Chain A
């Protein structure tokens, strides 16, 4: 039997040792030969933060799972295979898609489910959609797509704000050099030449900015990937910017330099030389004034939009993280392992589980220990359709789904499920005792909506013939297991080793527990290595595949939300700083230009307060207009982030008010600095410059 090892594993675990190829490894207790190493960039059929270490031929699946009486390939209910293919050149994809759809329907028609009368419509509508597979299965695009699109929009807005600042900077430089420009024009310089000169300057400026930006991007990408995939070991994403990315970023900075350099250059080159040569005057009224102010207003409006977005995301994340999952996380740890991969047969499991629970209880500091198929909020879910005894057969498309898992006796206490009615799973619920289940409140609400007593009711999951399989013996409180954004699903819990009476072969896979949950007295040093050692002592093939605190596991569920929220917040603050800098720049420039005017005002009796108020009010008027434009825009844009929010309306008045206050404060600070400078104008000096 031969398998292929991934390049990353070869490098990480075997330091690229060439003798690995051809050597024999024991994989899931079976000896296999390493046939080769994948190319460095190969990451399997999809992009994931935990790419495979080994690639195993499809035919070995049956042998590798000793628990299964037969291959998963023969289980029609298990949809687990992805199909990747290379299309011949010149193939019509639409025709191919139609052919594959026909094949799918032909196959489905052989299944009993689709042979029922009311399934004809579903069968007719079943079809295949071919998607580009050049980059593998697009799971990450689907998972991160919406968030990334949002981030791209946010980045574009920040870029726009930065561009406005560049435009203002170039404009101010042009204004400051108005006399020089006028002299040049008076001496015969052509307008086109002056524009060219200014454009050159802004392009050089933006190129320098682009180069600096690339350095920031290089470091930023690494930070970003660490934030997005904190637990990734072999993330198949290269943080080094590629040539197309470099070219795009550089081209963009060049383009912005050109676009935002043209307008100021045009305005400056159209100043009247005679007027400029006459010297400074006592007014801020010039051709560029309105352009500058408009840019500042635009910045203020855009940054309000971004701040509102950031506020909504932050509030949503906070609500997500602080929602009541129903769990208890203090002093709880989750250890994942795989008795299936250690080669255990079904009949060996009872002894193994007894031994594990016994040895875990014996560890110092451990109060409770329980095995389970999986644990809350680890990203796992098993679900089936429920058929309740004494009720008519549910219609084909009726919603009868419930999630389920197998749990050990102390599981409910460790995780935080409170037993509300009846009893929980106990040590007496063994493989040979009466098959029982415990359901959650959501299950009761869904299947017993009229207040019927669920205790004593029987149900099964393999059609109407299975309705007598299990008896409900208890109801426990709700806990979120899977989707954080959606209400708690209906769930039922089964003892670890009871096999369903109907279709027992479908029940074997679930007998293999995947996790051990422990409750400790306070924190226990070295618990992970103790668990690892305990398992290894039972069987060296029992390895710990993952270890985390329960709180850490839940925390990890928010990685994507946290990343998006943090980045949006970061961009929002960046936009705020840029807008504040822009406002500061324009106000400072205005103050500098109006030094003589301020001198006159102070000579005529204006005190510091009135000069500060005058300058500040002008800055605040610009921010105010920006807010007036930004508020409705933010209000309208809220629907674009709505899909990313949890329990927060897109139109959240508190977030909007917060963003307004933050922006107003930033504008006030940005305006106050030049205003204070204006107030310290020495009238004598100011009048002398006249």
Chain B
């Protein structure tokens, strides 16, 4: 599904260039649940931004389902991301002045989907994530776990093939974190490929594969064993 070859990313500050990703070679197969770990500044979020096509300042090659992302312009990348990728953020990033239902509807509002269809999709999603009763509440009226649930519902509403989660439980209590991780597990079992960034070993345990980054380099990757299993499941 995802193939990165020699992907590099650096930030320039004055005369110095800071590398956050160094020659990353990575293959992620469909149905995988990949956990990216590493100390702060290792390049985890940068990798996630590259995968989420939010960042287009990197070098190297990136194929998504066989399509060369590196050869696409910004608009093509945005279109591809809009169709195939969902994102979940550590601080939820719900819009404060929109209700739960409106927040969930947001990704659909950027697609050419008739209003009636959108409403149906939102209703389905609220039902699926069991937050129908909260559809008219505003984010500040929800607990952190509930907000993140809405964040995940928003990311999943357009049925993305890849779900990217950046520290999805970073702001949650352990009980709420566990519920969210169970949700991810379910989504993965239903066929969504997930890449999560986390510091938590417990969260990593939900994944099928763990990649560890250090100073921008891929330090270790448990692929091979887990990737094989994922392929088997797909077959």
User: Interface of A with B (CB < 8 Å)?
Assistant: 281-285, 596-597, 600-607, 610, 683-684, 687, 690
Contact = CB atoms under 8 A, between A and B. Distances in A.
Contacts of A285: 96-97
A606 B109 CA distance: 8
Interface residues of B, number: 23
B54 A684 contact: yes
B81 interface: yes
A268 to B, nearest CB: 20
B216 to A, nearest CB: 16
Question: From DSSP, what is the main secondary structure of chain B's interface residues?
Answer: loop
Nearest to A600: B93
Interface of B: 49, 52, 54-55, 75, 78, 81-82, 87, 89, 91, 93-97, 106-107, 109-111, 154, 158
Contacts of B54: 602-603, 683-684, 687
Contacts of A600: 89, 93, 95
Contact of B93 (A282, A284, A605, A607): A282
B95 A282 contact: yes
Contacts of A605: 78, 81-82, 107, 110-111, 158
Contact of B97 (A283, A601, A687): A283
A314 to B, nearest CB: 44
Contact of B91 (A603, A604, A684, A690): A690
Contacts of A281: 96
30 contacts: A281-B96, A282-B93, A282-B96, A283-B95, A283-B96, A283-B97, A285-B97, A597-B95, A600-B93, A600-B95, A601-B110, A602-B54, A602-B78, A603-B52, A603-B54, A604-B107, A604-B110, A605-B78, A605-B81, A605-B82, A605-B107, A605-B158, A606-B110, A607-B75, A607-B110, A610-B110, A683-B54, A687-B89, A687-B93, A690-B93
Given A683-B54, A684-B55, A603 B96 contact: no
- The 7 closest A-B CB pairs, nearest first, are A605-B82, A283-B96, A605-B110, A600-B93, A683-B54, A604-B107, A283-B97
Contacts of A282: 93-96
Which of A285, A600, A601, A603 has most chain B Cβ within 10 Å?
Answer: A603
Nearest to A285: B97
Output the residue of A285, A684, A690 with the most chain B CB within 10 A.
A684
B78 A604 contact: no
A285 B111 CA distance: 26
A571 B154 CA distance: 51
Nearest to A601: B106
A67 B15 CA distance: 94
B96 A604 contact: no
A279 to B, nearest CB: 10
Contacts of B91: 690
A461 B95 CA distance: 88
A687 B89 CA distance: 9
Given A603-B87, A610-B109, A687-B54, 11 more contacts: A281-B96, A282-B93, A282-B94, A600-B93, A601-B95, A601-B106, A603-B54, A605-B158, A607-B82, A683-B54, A684-B49
